[in-house]
Homo-oligomer: A and B are copies of this chain.
Amino acid sequence: MDNKDMDILNMLMDDGRMAFTEIAKKLKTSESSVRKRVKKMEEEGVIKGYTTNINTSKLGYGVVALTGFDTNPEDFLSVAQSLCEFEEIKKVYTSTGDHMIMTEIWAKDGKELSEILFNKLGTIKGIKKICPAIILEQLK
Protein backbone atom coordinates (compact mmCIF):
# COMPACT_ATOMS: atom_id res chain seq x y z
CA MET A 1 0.00 0.00 0.00
CA ASP A 2 1.58 3.21 -1.18
CA ASN A 3 0.26 6.50 -2.46
CA LYS A 4 -0.43 5.09 -5.89
CA ASP A 5 -2.53 2.30 -4.41
CA MET A 6 -4.34 4.88 -2.34
CA ASP A 7 -5.03 7.01 -5.41
CA ILE A 8 -6.42 4.01 -7.25
CA LEU A 9 -8.55 3.10 -4.26
CA ASN A 10 -10.00 6.57 -4.00
CA MET A 11 -10.99 6.52 -7.63
CA LEU A 12 -12.55 3.08 -7.27
CA MET A 13 -14.46 4.14 -4.20
CA ASP A 14 -15.79 7.08 -6.15
CA ASP A 15 -16.70 4.98 -9.19
CA GLY A 16 -16.43 1.25 -8.72
CA ARG A 17 -16.92 0.53 -12.41
CA MET A 18 -14.23 2.85 -13.69
CA ALA A 19 -12.11 1.10 -16.32
CA PHE A 20 -8.48 0.43 -15.45
CA THR A 21 -7.42 2.23 -18.58
CA GLU A 22 -9.19 5.36 -17.44
CA ILE A 23 -7.68 5.20 -13.96
CA ALA A 24 -4.29 4.73 -15.60
CA LYS A 25 -4.81 7.76 -17.81
CA LYS A 26 -5.75 10.00 -14.90
CA LEU A 27 -2.83 8.76 -12.84
CA LYS A 28 -0.49 8.96 -15.82
CA THR A 29 0.56 5.35 -15.57
CA SER A 30 -0.05 2.14 -17.49
CA GLU A 31 -3.18 0.05 -17.50
CA SER A 32 -1.32 -3.11 -16.52
CA SER A 33 0.22 -1.39 -13.53
CA VAL A 34 -3.21 -0.34 -12.31
CA ARG A 35 -4.71 -3.75 -12.93
CA LYS A 36 -1.96 -5.59 -11.09
CA ARG A 37 -2.20 -3.27 -8.12
CA VAL A 38 -5.96 -3.72 -7.96
CA LYS A 39 -5.60 -7.47 -8.17
CA LYS A 40 -3.06 -7.42 -5.36
CA MET A 41 -5.35 -5.33 -3.18
CA GLU A 42 -8.19 -7.74 -3.90
CA GLU A 43 -6.04 -10.71 -2.93
CA GLU A 44 -4.79 -9.01 0.22
CA GLY A 45 -8.36 -8.22 1.17
CA VAL A 46 -7.86 -4.47 1.18
CA ILE A 47 -10.59 -4.41 -1.44
CA LYS A 48 -13.45 -6.51 -0.13
CA GLY A 49 -15.60 -6.16 -3.21
CA TYR A 50 -17.62 -3.89 -5.42
CA THR A 51 -21.18 -2.83 -4.99
CA THR A 52 -23.92 -0.65 -6.36
CA ASN A 53 -25.50 2.26 -4.56
CA ILE A 54 -29.24 2.15 -4.72
CA ASN A 55 -31.80 4.89 -4.29
CA THR A 56 -33.84 2.96 -1.78
CA SER A 57 -36.96 5.09 -2.06
CA LYS A 58 -37.07 4.76 -5.85
CA LEU A 59 -36.82 1.03 -5.34
CA GLY A 60 -39.88 1.14 -3.17
CA TYR A 61 -38.09 1.16 0.17
CA GLY A 62 -39.57 4.29 1.70
CA VAL A 63 -38.12 3.60 5.11
CA VAL A 64 -34.54 2.88 6.08
CA ALA A 65 -33.94 2.56 9.80
CA LEU A 66 -30.74 2.37 11.79
CA THR A 67 -31.87 0.06 14.53
CA GLY A 68 -30.06 -0.76 17.73
CA PHE A 69 -30.75 -3.92 19.73
CA ASP A 70 -30.14 -4.59 23.40
CA THR A 71 -29.81 -8.16 24.62
CA ASN A 72 -28.87 -10.08 27.68
CA PRO A 73 -25.13 -10.75 27.55
CA GLU A 74 -25.68 -14.49 27.23
CA ASP A 75 -28.00 -14.08 24.24
CA PHE A 76 -25.91 -11.50 22.45
CA LEU A 77 -24.21 -13.72 19.90
CA SER A 78 -27.22 -15.82 19.00
CA VAL A 79 -29.35 -12.70 18.55
CA ALA A 80 -26.73 -11.11 16.30
CA GLN A 81 -26.54 -14.22 14.17
CA SER A 82 -30.31 -14.55 13.94
CA LEU A 83 -30.60 -10.96 12.76
CA CYS A 84 -28.18 -11.67 9.94
CA GLU A 85 -30.58 -14.18 8.48
CA PHE A 86 -33.33 -11.67 7.77
CA GLU A 87 -33.42 -10.46 4.22
CA GLU A 88 -34.75 -7.06 5.27
CA ILE A 89 -31.75 -6.44 7.52
CA LYS A 90 -29.01 -5.29 5.22
CA LYS A 91 -26.20 -4.64 7.71
CA VAL A 92 -25.40 -6.00 11.16
CA TYR A 93 -22.65 -4.62 13.38
CA THR A 94 -21.58 -5.35 16.92
CA SER A 95 -20.52 -2.17 18.64
CA THR A 96 -19.82 -0.35 21.84
CA GLY A 97 -22.12 2.43 23.00
CA ASP A 98 -25.79 2.40 23.83
CA HIS A 99 -26.58 -0.73 21.86
CA MET A 100 -24.40 -3.78 21.45
CA ILE A 101 -25.94 -4.58 18.07
CA MET A 102 -26.56 -2.03 15.33
CA THR A 103 -28.40 -2.82 12.12
CA GLU A 104 -29.68 -1.19 8.97
CA ILE A 105 -33.15 -2.26 7.95
CA TRP A 106 -34.95 -1.55 4.65
CA ALA A 107 -38.73 -1.53 4.55
CA LYS A 108 -41.41 -0.41 2.10
CA ASP A 109 -43.11 1.81 4.64
CA GLY A 110 -43.65 2.34 8.33
CA LYS A 111 -46.19 -0.45 8.43
CA GLU A 112 -43.72 -2.94 7.04
CA LEU A 113 -40.95 -1.75 9.35
CA SER A 114 -43.24 -2.14 12.30
CA GLU A 115 -44.15 -5.61 11.15
CA ILE A 116 -40.51 -6.60 10.82
CA LEU A 117 -39.52 -5.18 14.18
CA PHE A 118 -42.44 -6.34 16.27
CA ASN A 119 -43.65 -9.49 14.52
CA LYS A 120 -40.92 -11.12 12.50
CA LEU A 121 -38.15 -10.42 14.98
CA GLY A 122 -40.44 -11.46 17.80
CA THR A 123 -39.37 -15.04 17.22
CA ILE A 124 -35.80 -14.23 18.26
CA LYS A 125 -35.10 -15.14 21.86
CA GLY A 126 -33.18 -12.72 24.04
CA ILE A 127 -33.93 -9.28 22.58
CA LYS A 128 -34.49 -6.87 25.46
CA LYS A 129 -35.00 -3.62 23.59
CA ILE A 130 -35.33 -2.37 20.03
CA CYS A 131 -34.31 1.20 19.21
CA PRO A 132 -35.13 2.22 15.63
CA ALA A 133 -34.00 5.55 14.16
CA ILE A 134 -35.51 6.26 10.78
CA ILE A 135 -33.16 7.95 8.32
CA LEU A 136 -34.67 11.16 7.03
CA GLU A 137 -31.99 12.21 4.57
CA GLN A 138 -28.51 11.14 3.58
CA LEU A 139 -26.42 14.29 3.34
CA LYS A 140 -23.17 12.46 2.58
Contact = CB atoms under 8 A, between A and B. Distances in A.
Contacts of A128: none
Contacts of A44: 58
Contacts of A134: 95-97
Interface in A32-56: 44-55
B48 A93 contact: no
Most chain B C-beta atoms within 10 Å of own C-beta, residue among A9, A84, A140? A140
Copies in the complex: 2
Interface residues of A, number: 50
B50 A54 contact: no
Nearest to A134: B96
A133 B95 contact: yes
A110 to B, nearest CB: 11
Contact of A66 (B59, B84, B93, B138): B93
A131 B13 contact: no
6 contacts: A9-B54, A12-B51, A45-B58, A51-B51, A51-B52, A95-B134
